[in-house]
Structure 1
Amino acid sequence: IIAKPREKFTEPEKQVLDQFIMKGGKTLWLVDGTTAEMEQLYNESGTTLVAANDLNLTDMFFKYGFRINPQMIKDEQGTPLKLATGNEGSESNIEPYNWKMAPYIYPASKHPIVKNTDGVKFDFCSPIELLKSDVKKTILLESSQFSKVIGTPTTVSLEMIGEETSPKDYANGGFIPVAALLEGSFTSMYNNRVLPFKDDKFLNKSVPTKMIVISDGDVIKNQLDKGAPIELGYDKYTGQYFGNKEFILNSVNYLLDYNGLINIRSKDVTLPLLDKQSVHDSYSQTQMLTVALPIVLLGIFGFLFTFLRKKKYNR
């Protein structure tokens, strides 16, 4: 699991990772495409400068059949962000706002990894571009219809919560991949290239393997409460649970071929529904059986009880 790396990878490090994959290793990439961090906005101006996050992995990802573009996704289907808007007496007035830079992405795919899971919370995620190759690619999560890409470098401000938008602003956007599964035989990024260090067991082509790419390292990040991590997916500020934990667990289980656990989690439970037409056709009969019949039976019982009681005491 490569989760939210912050420093550039060296060529020898990339060769080690590359050969791990070539020999059948499974990888879960959680990589930021930009330098944006929520903590950077908590300053006097409420703004921060966002640039591309250069980790020296672009050529490696390109060889494997995808690219994480150095851009951000703005989505109308955001998650709540609580901010102080003023004072009420001696206390600050805290209100939730729709933060469009933290998309709430609900799975539309029927793949077992995301089937029947709750929506996943992202923070400053980037677009994943799937390139033509022999590797099988499956989009697991993508932004909503009303989303678009914001290029870098740029500035992000908390004042964006007050922006008024319309569907026209997203006319050429929407449905941008942010998590993808790649399966098959990958070509080494050092194929026909000089190796950073000698390796007698170097492989140009991998055995069949798979990897999952997520364009946001914060998807796997726990919030802290008094210095201790709390459950993944729980937002302590809003008290809301998101599907991050289940999504990550399903991803790891799938990579490790624990398909039984995933199939149990993604199993469809179909509840039998009433046949509305049959109910309509037999409405009068059902009403007679459920309402009139008990009254008639109660009347007969009362009559027999009274009759037998009088007969007994009249002797």
Structure 2
Amino acid sequence: MKQLTQHSAKSWFLFFGGILVIVLLANFLDFRIDLTEEKRYSLHPATEEMLSEISKPLHVEILLVGENLPGGMRRLQKSIEETVRTFNAYSAEKITYSYFDPLTLQKEERGDFILSLADYGINPTNLSVMRNSGQQEQLIFPGILVSDEEYETGALVLKGDRGMGPDQILNHSIENLEFELSNAIRKLISPESSSIAMIMGHGEMSSDEGFGLVEALDGEFELFKVPLDQAQKPKDLEGFKMIFIQGPKENYTEREIYLLDQYVMGGGNLIVLLDGVAVEIENAGGEGTLAMPVDLGLDNLLFRYGVRVNKDLIQDLNFGYIPVMGGDFGNQQQMVPLPWPFYIQAGRMQEHAITKGLDVVQFRFTSSLDTVKADGVTKTPLIFSSDFSRVLPAPVRVAFADMDQEPDVGLFGMKNLPLAYLLEGEFTSLYKNRFLPDGFAKEDFKEGGNGKVVVIGDGDVFQSQTNLEDGAPLALGENPFSQSTFANKLFLKNLVQYLAEPEGIIASRTRTFRIRPLNKVKIAQQKTFWQGLNVLTPVVVLLVFGGSVWWIRRNKYSRKTN
């Protein structure tokens, strides 16, 4: 009997000793194992690197709260919490979280707080929820606030294309949680920003004087208006992370084109928003006007890089509206919305870090793009037109009167025309095997280089529109007539983040989580079977295991006693 007691004590000692060793090892060894197929609980290397640079504790307020949230919103809420916990596991400093409902504030404070959330792009969403009294409307705030001891920023986490279903939007939002949270943290821990040059001197940005770019990128990048004719040599442009050419109206000189070419050869990022034709929209009334082709000197440069901006205009049946004067009502002129196929609402996106899951982007008078051979350059179309498009070669009649009747669908037989191209790789200089412009030394010339170029056949895609009442510029993407907001600003932000650091946190937007819905037919047919299996199987396994252990111990120790 004494031997049996000693054996039992030894077993318990080894058991608790093993647990103690595991606990001690867990305190000294920091590791995580992600067994999911899509690596849901792993982070992109760029995110891990950013988290390792955090030097002070951070706090995340999850604003997505409320009673009786639908299952999809609870899933998003849980995913936000899990993402914060995963960030905390990799972070050099502690990242805590809490839940906060803005609707719990006093009425006087609530309005100001909701307006402050709008500055971060967090707008309330109206949901239909089931309660004891029936279906009711409920406001939710699908966003997060990230703060340290001094500063605070925020991010909207419920995003998706308008063409997506509810499940797809939720799944896309969950896929992007890592990017949204890491981007918010980056704003706090890395306040310094790169420089962007906005080229001036050729009629660029004449509509809003660059307000669209400045308003969208303020706080993340430093923007400078740069007269290109004042640059003396290519090195004068090397300090800029990227250069924007936005809707020029006047010719570029050979000297200026050489400066831009050598900037790209030096590894620079060039964004060219170029109109293939010139449109005078103010003359579209009555008999209308003709949009004529323009050549501003940039065509040969872009052709060498692999893209041609054609001298035409695209019309699309997925169009927007333009406000026009439709007569008087009393003594007041009335403004009415006119269907306008030249204003394309593009919602078909490439599965790329820049455009994945992006909502509709509006283009106004855009020209088609063709690609040409350019060895070493990868050409990626980013945004496409709809399945019902057509191309009108210049000269193009632009007249409001043409919209008196519905467009003939049979004429719109083209589909998925590329509206924006990303060019990456090893570029060849336009001036290879050519004479250099006067004033530039041959020994400084670079005949090739690894840069990036973005080409869009619409000079206005990043220009803000104006308020119809006071003429003040609106935020980029806001429509002054319909009060709707397009994703032009988000497209711009994603674009510059990718160009600034393509392998940075923007790369986490390419993550994909599969939706695995249950088979509703099988659920209805096999519901009782699976419920019984899930309830009874653990009990049976436990009884069998416990009975086996009891039988083995009984036989073992009964023989020793005998």
TM norm structure 1: 0.81
Task: Confirm whether residue 146 of structure 1 aligns to residue 409 of structure 2.
Answer: no
Deviates more, 1:47-56 or 1:238-247: 47-56
CA displacement 1:259-291 (0-9 Å, x = unmatched) = 4442455655667645413431256899xxxxx
Residues 1:40 and 1:220: Cα distance change in structure 2 (over 3 Å)? farther
Distance (whole Å) between structure 2 residues aligned to residue 37 and residue 260 of structure 1: 41
Task: Give the percent of matched residue pairs that are identical in Structure 1 and Structure 2.
Answer: 34
Q: Please, which of 369, 373, 390 is the counterpart of residue 128 of structure 1?
A: 369
Tell me by how many angstroms 1:223 deviates: 1.6
Tell me by how many angstroms 1:14 deviates: 0.5
| Alignment-mate amino acid for residue 229 of structure 1 | P
Give the aligned partner of residue 235 of structure 1: 479
* SS of the residue 1:233 aligns to: coil
Distance (whole Å) between structure 2 residues aligned to residue 235 and residue 285 of structure 1: 55
Q: Please, which of 69, 72, 78 is the counterpart of residue 319 of structure 2?
A: 78
Task: Confirm whether residue 31 of structure 1 aligns to residue 274 of structure 2.
Answer: yes
| Alignment-mate amino acid for residue 475 of structure 2 | E
Residue segments in structure 1 that go unaligned for 5+ positions in a row = 287-315
Q: Please, which of 253, 257, 262 is the counterpart of residue 19 of structure 1?
A: 262
Residues 1:278 and 1:186: Cα distance change in structure 2 (over 3 Å)? same
Give the aligned partner of residue 309 of structure 1: none
Q: Is the contact made by 2:316 and 2:385 (CA closer than 8 Å) also made in structure 1?
A: yes
Q: Please, which of 294, 299, 302 is the counterpart of residue 53 of structure 1?
A: 294
Tell me by how many angstroms 1:31 deviates: 0.8
Distance (whole Å) between structure 2 residues aligned to residue 167 and residue 158 of structure 1: 18
Residues 1:250 and 1:40: Cα distance change in structure 2 (over 3 Å)? farther
Give the aligned partner of residue 204 of structure 1: 447
Task: Confirm whether residue 223 of structure 1 aligns to residue 487 of structure 2.
Answer: no
Give the aligned partner of residue 429 of structure 2: 188
Distance (whole Å) between structure 2 residues aligned to residue 229 and residue 241 of structure 1: 14
Residues 1:263 and 1:187: Cα distance change in structure 2 (over 3 Å)? closer
User: Which protein has greater RCO, CA pairs closer than 8 Å, 6+ apart?
Assistant: 1
Tell me by how many angstroms 1:242 deviates: 0.5
Tell me by how many angstroms 1:203 deviates: 0.9
Residue segments in structure 2 that go unaligned for 5+ positions in a row = 1-243, 531-562
Structure with the bigger percentage of helix? 2
CA displacement 1:20-50 (0-9 Å, x = unmatched) = 1111111111111110143443x5x262221
Deviates more, 1:212-221 or 1:157-166: 157-166
Q: Is the contact made by 1:253 and 1:259 (CA closer than 8 Å) also made in structure 2?
A: no
* SS of the residue 2:429 aligns to: coil
* SS of the residue 1:277 aligns to: helix
| Alignment-mate amino acid for residue 390 of structure 2 | K
Q: Is the contact made by 2:275 and 2:457 (CA closer than 8 Å) also made in structure 1?
A: yes
Residues 1:190 and 1:33: Cα distance change in structure 2 (over 3 Å)? same
Tell me by how many angstroms 1:194 deviates: 1.0
Q: Is the contact made by 1:28 and 1:252 (CA closer than 8 Å) also made in structure 2?
A: no
Q: Is the contact made by 2:316 and 2:412 (CA closer than 8 Å) also made in structure 1?
A: no
Residues 1:253 and 1:39: Cα distance change in structure 2 (over 3 Å)? farther
Residues 1:196 and 1:183: Cα distance change in structure 2 (over 3 Å)? same
Distance (whole Å) between structure 2 residues aligned to residue 14 and residue 93 of structure 1: 46
Give the aligned partner of residue 98 of structure 1: 339
Residues 1:261 and 1:46: Cα distance change in structure 2 (over 3 Å)? farther
Distance (whole Å) between structure 2 residues aligned to residue 275 and residue 121 of structure 1: 38
CA RMSD of aligned residues (A): 2.4
* SS of the residue 1:14 aligns to: helix
Tell me by how many angstroms 1:178 deviates: 1.4
